[in-house]
Amino acid sequence: MRRFLLGIASVLCLVACSPSPSHQSSTIRIRWPRDPENLDPLVAPNSHAVEILNLLHCSLLSIDYNQKEFVPWLVEAMPVVRQRDSLTLVTYQLRSEASWDNGLPVLASDVVFTLKVMNCPGLPNEASRAQYGFIQNIEPDPADERRFTLSFRGRARELVHSSGDYPILPEHQLDPQKHLRRVSLAALRADTVPNKRRQQPDITAFVQRYQRANLNRQPENLAGCGPYRLVDWQTDRYVALQRKANWWGDRVKAAPPQLQAKPAAIDYEIIADEATAVLALRRGDIDIYPMMPAKDFLALRQNKAATQLSFYTADSYEMIAAGFNTRQPELQDARTRQALSYLFDIPGLIQASQQGMAYPSVSLVSPAAGESYHDSLPLLTFNTQRAQDLLRSAGWQQQAQGWTRRVANGTLQHLKPSISYRAGNPAYEAIALQFRTAAAKIGIPVQPRPTEASLFTEHLRTGNVELYLQLLSGNPFTYNFTPILHSQSIGWGNFTGFGTAASDQLIEAIATEGDPKRQAHLLRKFQYLLRQECPLVVLYFLQYRLAATNRLTNLHATGIRPGYEAAAIQSLPAGTIQP
Amino acid sequence: MGHFLLHRLLRTFPAVWGVVSVIFIISRLLTQEQVLNHRFGEGETGSHVASPAQRQLAELQIRQRLGLTAPLFYFSAAPPPVAGLALRWQWNGAHNQYHNWLRQLLHADLGVSFRDDQPVVSLLLQSLRYTLPLTIGAALSCLALAWLLTPRLGRKSRGRSLLLTSLYLIDAAPLFVVSLLLLLLLANPEMVALFPAYGLGREDPTATWLVHFQTMAYHLALPMLTLTLASLPALVVQLDAALNHELRADYVLTARAKGLPDALVIRRHVLRNALIPVLALLTELLPSLVAGSVVVEMIFSLPGMGRLLAAAAAAHDYPVLLGGVLTVALVRVWGQVVADWLSFQADPRIRLPL
């Protein structure tokens, strides 16, 4: 007993003597479920890494979360766009205040350098190269070292946005010997064979220097021109950023929102488990819990004891869709696909899988998109009778062994589709089970196939699926359905196998159309086509949910990832609670 | 003893090599989509994304950078024109992924992580820095508690049955339930907020070792308590069975007849004999000392080995996964050798197998 009491006393002593965590009220603490893993600006493997890189570095353009449009960041204004033959020329003018931490100005030569780094063989830039490889050339203005023109083929609006959407890197830090100045961008773009770089000592020397910087894990070795610098990163524990005392953005007169960075420090606290994160929020260990699961969000909102918290939601551009692999013989005709789409009970699914915190849409366009949304199309309803009628009109007959039909070559087809999805996601499981139950009611046996993530992607690519569930993401700026529905993307992102000359033409027209009215008309036409052909159906758009302590002000939940704008958030002094 | 150790190590080495080689081959045969797809925004309908041809080229370049384009093993099935009716084999020579990996391994180099290019050895060491204090602390607490509870187990009393029932109950509860219950009881502002809810606090390079130790102990107390509670039942129940078996022996009767108190009979005489089956169980704990506990590390957000390996498995980061498996396999083999040696120490009549 004495030893037991001694044990209790030592634990209490440990608790009493333990250092209490000090917390500055000007620091914003945000919960993340996972580590950013790699903070090399060329790699940025996940949305968390992108979020940090956007605070450490600046791109030419940024996003205005309120207006939902691209805005100038490192540049004075949106670029001037001209057409020369098949080339699009985009001219940018860098801000005169833009400078690196050592006071050197950000110049066109830094942009040239960044493009060369993104195309330099021997660096882990494969994804950057694929994404920004469309930029063919950059011409600095000889009369103005802050002015330059990018050129590329194609007229899509999204290409103009993409041409300014990558962090600009400092040449004086990464390449003080100016090795890359001796190699042209065209030569780097053409060099796609890894061993070839050994023949070019300049490239080898630069690659070795870049690798020595170990930016993957030591991003502090590269001082970007963003408003924050990284002060500490402990893997799987936290990432701590501090605002620069003399950031160039402070010198801009009447600075627009994208050039304002309010918090003195931002700590990203990595808490893997959701229940622990809720507890940490309630204890006041974190200030913001973004992307909160619907169940926890509703429970916390209804908890009267959680008075120190505020709750935010925003309609996102992420949607859960059910795709039909049109390469499967049973799913080749549109009427069969339409029939099966009537078996999804969308309001029920929104309630069951998202606790009602999602919203339906007629197609791939968000209902918030105004004229572009085809509001004349009815929302999909759950209608087993309609499904049976459509199946009969597609030639299927209900018999003792299920729904069958005889096709042209005399073979008998059975309608018994499987529904594939990534294993471990409760929302997908709920959808698959609801679909199976509804299909069983009209005599269609459905086999749910939960599949490991990597294997699922492989199955999608090889067409080894029938129905499948997938998360699709869009944004409010541009519409480009090429990756998911164009025939040239079949096997890469278009897992439906759908694609006709007319649909391809429509997709291309939407992507390149510059006039909003004409684009809205094309989008409505496309939504109608999708409803007729039914290669995929959107079940619902997700809502982003965010809970935060009351002491934060100017916190706006947005429908664009990460769901908030960290640099805009302000905090009241500790102990102050907003009314 | 030296002969015994050498003999055992020589015998177990092929087993470890075989296990790791099989895992290497199987893991590389699996699809690498997870590794390759992380940056291409699959399912994006808005922003500019790479064309299929660009993606194909990028995937090839990533494969080349990660060394995944070379043949997997010394030989492989010949491509279709060569392979006719019968399956033919093609000799790939030393330029294959397995050979390169083995050669690196002989230089104590486990390669670099697919995710961040960091050496696997340093990643494992970094994780062990947090896992070992937790697991060793929990193991020592578990042993100390078992030692304290031993005299109670020898006596048929209400206390013993109550203790065993409680231990069975704890054993029946999944680890995440035990973790969450402790968290909600002892780190909850609505109950008792004695301990922190997650993590290990801030790294302060200016802090003294005492402050460092205190911070670590404060943050690890609750996870350690969880692991202790989770491993205690198996140990105590096994010990209880062994003790009860030994207590029926004649030498116990003699000891009691001499007038020794029960606690002394158990600790001085019975425990040594009852320990032999428990020793094997104790050494089984050794691999989990380095493997960590995924559940506890996830719930308490600790950057340990369990979480590292779970994340590596989810991201198909095979160099890290293989490094972890190799470490755990080596500790397991070492644990078996230690178990034999301890059994010999506990009962010299046991002959060490050669």
State how far residue A2 is from chain B, nearest Cα, in angstroms.
12
What percentage of residues in chain B have a pLDDT greater than 70? Answer: 90
Residue B83's pLDDT band, with cuts at 50, 70 and 90, is: low
Closest in A44, A159, A236 to B48, CB measured? A159
DSSP 8-state class, residue A494: B
Overall average pLDDT of the A303-307 stretch: 86
Residues of B in contact with A165 (CB under 8 A): 47
- Is residue A547 over pLDDT 90? yes
Length of chain B in terms of residues written: 354
Residue A6 is predicted with a pLDDT of: 57
- Is residue A579 over pLDDT 50? no
Q: CA–CA separation, A285 vs B233, rounded Å? A: 34
Residue B234's pLDDT band, with cuts at 50, 70 and 90, is: confident
- Interval A447-462: pLDDT, tens: 999 998 888 988 998 9
Q: CA–CA separation, A137 vs B91, rounded Å? A: 46
Lowest mean pLDDT among A56-60, B69-73, B193-197, B265-269: B265-269
Tell me the DSSP string of A164-219: T-S----HHHH-TT--GGGS-HHHHHH---GGGGGG-HHHHHHHHHHHHT-TTT-G
Overall average pLDDT of the A30-57 stretch: 94
State how far residue A87 is from chain B, nearest Cα, in angstroms.
17
Residue B332 is predicted with a pLDDT of: 84
Q: Which two tokens stand for residue A264?
A: 């003195």
Half-sphere exposure of B231 toward its Cβ, with a 13 Å CA cutoff?
29
Q: CA–CA separation, A155 vs A83, rounded Å? A: 8
Residue B154 is predicted with a pLDDT of: 67
More confident residue, A457 or A578: A457
CATH number of domain containing B210: 1.10.3720.10
Residues of B in contact with A272 (CB under 8 A): 297-299, 301, 307
- Establish if B219 belongs to a structural domain: yes
Residue B279's pLDDT band, with cuts at 50, 70 and 90, is: confident
Query: Would you say A239 and A233 are in contact if contact means Cβ atoms under 8 Å apart?
Result: yes
Overall average pLDDT of the A63-86 stretch: 92
Residue A577 is predicted with a pLDDT of: 52
Cross-chain residue pair A283–B211, CB shorter than 8 Å = no
Overall average pLDDT of the B251-268 stretch: 86
State how far residue A89 is from chain B, nearest Cα, in angstroms.
17
Residue A26 is predicted with a pLDDT of: 83
The residue range of the domain holding B164 is: 126-304
Cross-chain residue pair A272–B307, CB shorter than 8 Å = yes
State how far residue A179 is from chain B, nearest Cα, in angstroms.
22
Residue B38 is predicted with a pLDDT of: 57
- Interval B285-301: pLDDT, tens: 778 777 778 999 999 99
CA angle A477, A483, A485 (to 5 degrees): 105
A477 touches chain B (CB under 8 A): yes
Picking from B216, B301, B309 by the largest number of A CB atoms within 10 A of its own CB, the best residue to mutate is B301
What percentage of residues in chain A have a pLDDT greater than 90? Answer: 76
- Interval A137-152: pLDDT, tens: 999 999 999 999 999 9
- Is residue A434 over pLDDT 90? yes
Residue B112's pLDDT band, with cuts at 50, 70 and 90, is: very high
- Is residue B257 over pLDDT 60? yes
- Establish if B131 belongs to a structural domain: yes
Q: CA–CA separation, B151 vs B147, rounded Å? A: 8
More confident residue, A137 or B277: A137
- Establish if B150 belongs to a structural domain: yes
- Is residue B10 over pLDDT 90? no
- Interval A177-232: pLDDT, tens: 999 999 999 999 887 655 554 568 899 999 999 999 999 999 999 999 999 999 99
Residue A529 is predicted with a pLDDT of: 96
In 3D space, the residue among A497, A388, A505 whose CA is nearest the CA of residue A441 turns out to be: A388
- Establish if B309 belongs to a structural domain: no
pTM score: 0.90
Q: Which two tokens stand for residue B292?
A: 């960590």
A484 touches chain B (CB under 8 A): yes
Provide the mean pLDDT of chain B. 84
Give, in order, the Cα–Cα distances in Å from A538 to each of A238, A523, B46.
37, 15, 16
Give, in order, the Cα–Cα distances in Å from A378 to each of A363, A383, A531, B351.
10, 13, 10, 82
Residue B353 is predicted with a pLDDT of: 57
Query: Would you say A487 and A340 are in contact if contact means Cβ atoms under 8 Å apart?
Result: no
Dihedral over alpha carbons A317, A321, A327, A330 (to 10 degrees): -160
- Interval B150-203: pLDDT, tens: 777 766 777 888 888 999 999 999 999 999 999 999 999 888 889 999 999 988
- Is residue B350 over pLDDT 80? no
- Establish if B298 belongs to a structural domain: yes
Residue B19 is predicted with a pLDDT of: 85
Domain tally, chain B: 1
More confident residue, B227 or B33: B227
Find the helix or strand (DSSP H, E) in which A238 lies: strand A238-243
Residues of A in contact with B300 (CB under 8 A): 276
Overall average pLDDT of the A152-178 stretch: 91
Query: Would you say A294 and A434 are in contact if contact means Cβ atoms under 8 Å apart?
Result: no
By C-alpha distance, the chain B residue nearest A50 is B39
Closest in B52, B118, B217 to A216, CB measured? B118
Residue A181 is predicted with a pLDDT of: 95
Residue A372's pLDDT band, with cuts at 50, 70 and 90, is: very high
State how far residue A319 is from chain B, nearest Cα, in angstroms.
10
- Is residue A272 over pLDDT 50? yes
- Establish if B141 belongs to a structural domain: yes
- Is residue A7 over pLDDT 80? no
Residue A14 is predicted with a pLDDT of: 54
- Establish if B87 belongs to a structural domain: no
Residue A11's pLDDT band, with cuts at 50, 70 and 90, is: low
Residue A575 is predicted with a pLDDT of: 56
Cross-chain residue pair B38–A46, CB shorter than 8 Å = yes
Residue A541 is predicted with a pLDDT of: 96
Closest in A124, A280, A317 to B197, CB measured? A280
- Is residue B354 over pLDDT 60? no
Task: Give exposure, B93-104, as e/b (b: 16+ Cβ within 10 Å).
Answer: eeebbbbebeee
- Interval A110-136: pLDDT, tens: 999 999 999 998 899 988 888 898 999
Query: Would you say B40 and B52 are in contact if contact means Cβ atoms under 8 Å apart?
Result: no
- Establish if B310 belongs to a structural domain: no
Provide the mean pLDDT of chain A. 91
Residues of B in contact with A124 (CB under 8 A): 65, 117
Residue A1's pLDDT band, with cuts at 50, 70 and 90, is: very low
Residues of B in contact with A481 (CB under 8 A): 45
Q: CA–CA separation, A339 vs A322, rounded Å? A: 13
A237 touches chain B (CB under 8 A): yes
Query: Would you say A261 and A567 are in contact if contact means Cβ atoms under 8 Å apart?
Result: yes
Residues of A in contact with B126 (CB under 8 A): 235
How many inter-chain contacts (A to B, CB under 8 Å) are there?
Answer: 216
Residue A81 is predicted with a pLDDT of: 94
**Residue A199: exposure state from Cβ atoms within 10 A (0-12, 13-18, ≥19):** exposed
CB A450: neighbour CB atoms within 10 A? 16
**Residue A44: exposure state from Cβ atoms within 10 A (0-12, 13-18, ≥19):** buried
Overall average pLDDT of the B6-12 stretch: 80
Overall average pLDDT of the A519-534 stretch: 96
A276 touches chain B (CB under 8 A): yes
- Is residue B127 over pLDDT 60? yes
Residue B152 is predicted with a pLDDT of: 75
Picking from B27, B34, B39, B297 by the largest number of A CB atoms within 10 A of its own CB, the best residue to mutate is B39
